[in-house]
Amino acid sequence: MIFVKTIKNEKEIQNKIKKVDGAMSQEGMPLTKELKSILYNCYIGKTTFDVERKKMIDKYRKMYG
């Protein structure tokens, strides 16, 4: 389980997403709008990182076995 400090400030949320996008871009894998939206929903508490992680794992297991 991943524990994340609750972020309440909109500017702080956007800054965190930009940092993640920047790090991923350096590796040649910038975030899509969909992934940024998922991160945003996790930060505001609409969903959790564990739930979204499981969804992605299930999606790619179906695609690639």
Token couple for 16: 């965190």
In the chain, where are the structural domains located?
A: 10-64
| pTM greater than the 0.85 cutoff | no
DSSP 8-state symbol, 2: -
Token couple for 59: 């999606």
Percent of the chain beyond pLDDT 70? 88
pLDDT for 25-41, tens place per residue?
Answer: 999 999 999 999 999 99
pLDDT value at 13 more than 80: yes
